[in-house]
Structure 1
Amino acid sequence: MTHSSTAASTLWGATAPAGLSLSAVHAPFSADMVVIGGGVTGLSTALHLAQSGASVCLLDAFEIGHRASGRNGGQVVPGVKPAPRVLIQRFGETAAKAMMRFTYGCADEVFELIERYAIDCEPTRNGWIQGAYSTQSTAYLQQRAKQINSHGGDVEFLEQAAVQAATGSSFWPSGLLEKRAGAVQPLAYVRGLARSIVALGVQVYEHSPVETIRAHGSGYQLAVNGQTINARKVVIATDAYTDQLWPAVAQSYVNVASAQIATDPLPVSIQDRVMPRRAGVSETRKITYYCRIDPEGRFVIGGRGRSSDGIDPATRQQLYQAACERFPALQGIAFPHGWACRVGMTVDDLPHLHELADGLWTAYGYCGRGVALGTAMGRVLSQALRGLPVQEFPVTPVRRIPLYPLRQVGAVAALQWYRLRDAMGYPG
């Protein structure tokens, strides 16, 4: 993999193929379908629309992959966090089963696109383990495995010896192996998707933030860089960065900071002891850590950060301590890379899919599983824009978080409550 030609503030930016350096909107024009946001969801939507022969334009406020889609941990994990029984209770058996089929297959969609379009993004498919953070979580994982497998998933409950054999660590008393999971170099993945849609004829503009959207005739008018774009149909794929573009959506999730640190390629002697089977790991905690080793032998660990603008020394130290607690062989190893991003977390731990108005759609809130879910949701959004029935995932009304202006106070209180639950060993 060649190095990016642009200045990089993350490990992914330093090691991904260079971006396309696309121009900004500088004149008014009309488009049939406009996708706002050059992350995983927006790029996948544009790709699937272009595959169907639609005329598509994609707009990004910065550069492709500048935000969370190019800064995440790269895990490609199928499924959603809530258990099958929770989905059935909320949506009914028919809708819940359709959702489970969709979410359990979303990792497959990522790797199929990578193969079809020859995307150079270091894809690996070694599985993902959800490690039990406490002995109390073991029963939870056993039940979760039974539920998932009975509804079309492909997971395996692991006793501690099996978890230790896979990870090289005795930290987790048990685990749940998601066999269809894997990982990618996230910035390389989104840049590869961007190259693919450009090759399919999609107009892509960077440094083109959409300031307003308003209904106009049978479609919409978008204000971009002082210019007007007319569109028949629109997708908002801005997730945690929706802000004032559509306030009701921005008030239906909570923004949190996610931070990561990484080593340089580890000596082989340490790689043999740290995650030797290369399956990614996260935990049953509410405030969880996640880690993996990339194909070049770098150890990457992430967790809750303090700011999405960058990583502070306290967060670096916290992540380093977490890494060494789980893998003592990393004690004394340098972690020269560190970065952060903003992610959108929904109250129900589920992605949300909304038709905001006729021909105006959005999807967001992947709660840490955006590479897989965002890719698959792009296909669903493309079907919606083409007037096809949406049957794989529930289309719901936007629900603002109550007392949203006090969300940060509530988030701090929730964080303390989650820490208490984690300390008591309750599963997330």
Structure 2
Amino acid sequence: MNTDLFSFRSTLWAATTAPRAASAALAGPLDVDVAVIGGGFTGLSAALHLAEAGVKVALFEAYEVAHRASGRNGGQVVPGFKPTPSAMIQRFGVETARRMMRFGYGNADMLFDLVDRYRIDCSPSRDGWIQGAFTETSGQYLKKRAADINANGGDVQYLDRETMREASGSQFWPAGLLERRAGAVHPLAYARGLARAATELGASIYERSPVTEISPRVSGVTLSVNGHAVTAKHAILATDSYTETLWPAVAQSYVTVASAQIATDPLPDALRERLMPKGAGVSETRKITYYCRIDPEGRFVIGGRGRSTDSLDDATRTQLRNAAEERFPELAGATWSHGWACRVGMTMDDLPRVHQLADRLWTAYGYCGRGVAMGTALGRVLSEAVRGVRPAQLDFPVTPVNRMPFYPARQVGAALTINWYRLRDTLGYPA
């Protein structure tokens, strides 16, 4: 059995979206203006924006569109960055940081504009997203963070204990921060909608078409796909945490961690109305965070760090169920019908990356759990880069690839660090 395929089909999202006929696999040589590698949010957004501009673009996906993290995430559309505006200003300077923040705080608006413009049927909602304080200390941090964000172009609200209880339906969190521009989508339906819109505009999508080699040339880039040569004037690598040996320097510039989720059957109406009554999902300030939401049909969905990369193990399933009942005791006895997992890319500073890997080859990755909005937005940035927009004029800074020293040890160390953070969180240490 193809366990990876089984894991994908076991997701809530695969079970609750309309069937889709797969695109054809590449069956011969091809010449295009731009080749996009990877059929997740970044690659699909890049292909769509290039097709909008009349560029001859082809996208190559090893499995099917959104087979990896883009089809297995929680669907939360959260604008902005994890680091505070003050930290970004200190690191990048005022001008660059404010340009990044305009981009970051606006990326949810951009996503929902795409949904409206192309009539993507993905159950979009804009009820906000809440970051819950895990401790009283982290509640004070959120209060300062809210002021910092609002002073630099964001739109958030600090929630004290009572307003947090009213918004979340739980007494678990002592405080919170509401991202008003945030929302949620059905992630697989959203990705498939991007694919449909891109193909209607003339983009070619080839599924079951893994790229096994990338060769930059003086006049472009050559790919090996299903044993066939694809020549392109430009190429975009949009494989994030699944880059692996395709471009080792990129794969060794971040660590990958497992993200796992489980979902209940649709809840009774009375219970559904008590849990997260304002419609906003919740994540946390914990080092090893949990996040939860109610899907459009009333299922409770919770996610967190897993132990296995692309399949859900029993220990993680139990851990997630216990976390859900700790936050919402009313879920005791609920039937958990779906469980799944994927890999996500985490950079050491919690910021994504945009690189020019060669003269005509670009990439973006490292979304650190905010890939729905950020991947979509950086796909647009990459489309502009290959169309000749100068790096200094892009909405996100272009940096050189920085391999992690002693990368294999760093990857092992990441797993050990996650276990250490789990212990700290259990003992109640502030994030």
TM-score (norm 1): 0.97
Partner of 1:392: 395
Q: Which runs of 5+ in 1 are unaligned?
A: 1-6
Deviation at 1:28, TM superposition (A): 0.5
Deviation at 1:425, TM superposition (A): 4.5
The amino acid of 2:208's aligned partner reads: H
Deviation string, structure 1 residues 198-224 (Cα, Å, up to 9, x no partner): 100001100111111112341111011
Deviation at 1:19, TM superposition (A): 2.4
Partner of 2:122: 121
The amino acid of 1:303's aligned partner reads: G
Taking the aligned partners of 2:430 and 2:110, their CA distance within structure 1 comes to 29
Partner of 1:4: none
Does the CA contact (< 8 Å) of 2:216 and 2:361 recur in 1? Answer: no
Partner of 1:193: 194
Query: Which segment is superposed worse, 410-419 or 359-368?
Result: 410-419
The amino acid of 2:84's aligned partner reads: A
The amino acid of 1:16's aligned partner reads: T
Partner of 2:159: 158
Residues 23-422 of structure 1 aligned to structure 2 (within 5 Å) = 23-389=24-390, 390-422=393-425
The amino acid of 2:356's aligned partner reads: E
Deviation string, structure 1 residues 58-108 (Cα, Å, up to 9, x no partner): 110110011000000000000010011111111111110100010000000
The amino acid of 1:407's aligned partner reads: R
**Shift in CA distance, 391/425, structure 1 to aligned 2, threshold 3 Å:** farther
Does the CA contact (< 8 Å) of 2:128 and 2:179 recur in 1? Answer: yes
Taking the aligned partners of 1:412 and 1:191, their CA distance within structure 2 comes to 32
Q: Which runs of 5+ in 2 are unaligned?
A: 1-7
Deviation string, structure 1 residues 150-185 (Cα, Å, up to 9, x no partner): 000000000011011111100000000000000000
Does the CA contact (< 8 Å) of 1:136 and 1:425 recur in 2? Answer: no
Deviation string, structure 1 residues 32-51 (Cα, Å, up to 9, x no partner): 10110000000000111111
Taking the aligned partners of 2:347 and 2:153, their CA distance within structure 1 comes to 25
Deviation string, structure 1 residues 213-267 (Cα, Å, up to 9, x no partner): 1123411110111100001100000000001110000001111110000011100
* Count, aligned residues: 423
3-state SS of paired residue (2:274): coil
Deviation string, structure 1 residues 111-165 (Cα, Å, up to 9, x no partner): 0000000001010111000000001101100110010000000000000110111
Taking the aligned partners of 2:210 and 2:287, their CA distance within structure 1 comes to 34
Deviation string, structure 1 residues 327-369 (Cα, Å, up to 9, x no partner): 0110111111100011111111011000011111000010110
Does the CA contact (< 8 Å) of 1:19 and 1:64 recur in 2? Answer: no
Taking the aligned partners of 2:13 and 2:122, their CA distance within structure 1 comes to 10
Does the CA contact (< 8 Å) of 1:23 and 1:205 recur in 2? Answer: yes
3-state SS of paired residue (1:272): helix
Partner of 2:4: none
3-state SS of paired residue (1:285): coil
Deviation string, structure 1 residues 365-418 (Cα, Å, up to 9, x no partner): 101100000111111111101001343111111111111021233113322442
The amino acid of 2:211's aligned partner reads: V
Large movers: runs of 4+ above 6 Å? none
Taking the aligned partners of 2:93 and 2:421, their CA distance within structure 1 comes to 29
Taking the aligned partners of 2:90 and 2:100, their CA distance within structure 1 comes to 13
**Shift in CA distance, 405/157, structure 1 to aligned 2, threshold 3 Å:** same
Taking the aligned partners of 1:143 and 1:400, their CA distance within structure 2 comes to 33
The amino acid of 1:391's aligned partner reads: L
The amino acid of 1:245's aligned partner reads: L
Residues 11-22 of structure 1 aligned to structure 2 (within 5 Å) = 11-22=12-23
Taking the aligned partners of 1:395 and 1:423, their CA distance within structure 2 comes to 39
Does the CA contact (< 8 Å) of 2:60 and 2:205 recur in 1? Answer: yes
Does the CA contact (< 8 Å) of 1:104 and 1:152 recur in 2? Answer: yes
TM-score (norm 2): 0.96
Taking the aligned partners of 1:410 and 1:308, their CA distance within structure 2 comes to 16
Taking the aligned partners of 2:230 and 2:394, their CA distance within structure 1 comes to 31
Taking the aligned partners of 2:309 and 2:195, their CA distance within structure 1 comes to 24
Taking the aligned partners of 1:24 and 1:11, their CA distance within structure 2 comes to 26
3-state SS of paired residue (1:379): helix
The amino acid of 1:137's aligned partner reads: S
The amino acid of 1:394's aligned partner reads: P
3-state SS of paired residue (1:276): coil
Does the CA contact (< 8 Å) of 2:63 and 2:210 recur in 1? Answer: yes
Does the CA contact (< 8 Å) of 1:137 and 1:426 recur in 2? Answer: no
3-state SS of paired residue (2:336): coil
The amino acid of 2:183's aligned partner reads: G
The amino acid of 1:419's aligned partner reads: R
